[in-house]
Amino acid sequence: MKTLNVTTLICAALLAVNSLKINAEDEQAVAIQPVTVYEQTTPSASGIANNIVITDHATKAKELNVLFIPGLMSNASVWSDLSQGLGNYYKDGYRSHFAQVAGFANNKVYPNNRLSKITAALVSYIEDNNLNNVIVIGHSMGGHIAYQLALALPDRVSKVVSVDGLPFITPIFTRSNQVTAAQAQPYANKLKSQYANMDSAELTAYTRKGVNIQATSELNQTKVLSMASGSHPETVGQIMADLMTSDLRSAITTSNTPILFLGASGGFNSDDNKEMVERLYAEQFAEASQASVIMNTQSRHFIMFDNLPWLLQQTTQFLGKE
């Protein structure tokens, strides 16, 4: 008789719970905006009353505002551990802002959500809340958006940390940086149509085929699949198509905002492939003098799952501490 191990049981439970959430969800419910941002403040000496942090203008001006943006088919939970680590490191005056993208990982669907709409909403959030000294930390798609925010708000966004998120993702598929956004358009259209015709089960099955390059452990792979199974296929396809035709390689060379790109090549099965990926990534930042590229050859795409201590060390070293 075959015995299931504890990890397998936990993984099965995660997927089962997620399935129940989807079935119970009101299909008519829609999001009122393309992305929602939730704020969390690390308690400081300014005082606390009823769990509400009270700050004066002097304290607020010194705060380190960190905006966390997840990747495709992910939610803000992927950043929980890193945010806690940064809060422990910076202590007073650390304020985190978590973006939740509509249509991803059990978040309500926003009709015809687009990459441009998400970016515009985040620009408005930063401006409307008069945030300064904003550090944008993004994973994959979130990294791409982080570059856009730095370009749109150079006086407010002080640094960018992109976790395996490129200025242009199409070269990942072509294995060449010679491809252009215009050349990617037909493939992007095809991919958009493919996702639009999927249901939740098909999206999960499709994601499962490549989950080995996403995270190392079975438990973390199941987290990735759970978020994918709660994502809206049409939204995923549209935003993936937007990413494939959004080329920021030239644009980031005009920015003065420091960029730390943390790439992952642990999902590739040979040293030759890892070297190829590192060259491919480095080429995208070759003309951006303010950007640093550091590769993790052991971690897979979700570096925050595979090697949190390394990610925290690289991030705090880049951000510094006054």
Other C-beta atoms within 10 Å of 273: how many?
A: 13
| Closest to 290 (Cα-Cα) out of 250, 316, 249, 259 | 259
In three-state form (DSSP H/G/I as H, E/B as E, the rest C), the secondary structure along the chain is CCCCCHHHHHHHHHHHHHHHHHHHCCCCCECCCCEEEEEEECCCCCCEECCEECCCHHHHHHCEEEEEECCCCCCHHHHHHHHHHHHHHHCCCEEEEEEEECCCCCCCECCCCCHHHHHHHHHHHHHHCCCCCEEEEEECHHHHHHHHHHHHCCCCEEEEEEECCCCCCHHHHHCCCCCCHHHHHHHHHHHHHHHHCCCHHHHHHHHHHCHHHCCCCHHHHHHHHHHHHCCCHHHHHHHHHHHHCCCCCCHHHHCCCCEEEEEECCCCCCHHHHHHHHHHHHHHCCCCCCEEEEEECCCCCCHHHHCHHHHHHHHHHHHCCC
pLDDT score for 99: 98
Amino acid found at 205? A
Task: Return the residue matching tokens 């985190």.
Answer: 96
pLDDT score for 307: 98
For residues 279-288, one letter each, b for 16 or more C-beta atoms within 10 angstroms of the residue's C-beta and e for the rest, the string is ebbeebbeeb
Amino acid found at 47? G
Instruction: Assess whether pLDDT exceeds 50 at residue 175.
Output: yes
How far out from the chain centre does Cα 255 lie? 21
Q: What is the pLDDT of residues 125-152, one digit of tens each?
A: 999 999 999 999 999 999 999 999 999 9
| Domains of the chain by residue range | 6-319
pLDDT score for 28: 42
Instruction: Assess whether pLDDT exceeds 90 at residue 236.
Output: yes
Average pLDDT over residues 73-91: 95
Amino acid found at 89? Y
Q: What is the pLDDT of residues 47-79, one digit of tens each?
A: 222 222 323 333 455 678 999 999 999 999 999
Instruction: Assess whether pLDDT exceeds 60 at residue 43.
Output: no
Where on the phi/psi map is residue 144: left (φ > 0), alpha (ψ -120 to 50), or beta? Answer: alpha
Classify domain 6-319 by CATH architecture: 3-Layer(aba) Sandwich (3.40)
Q: Are 203 and 229 in contact (CB under 8 A)?
A: yes
pLDDT score for 238: 98
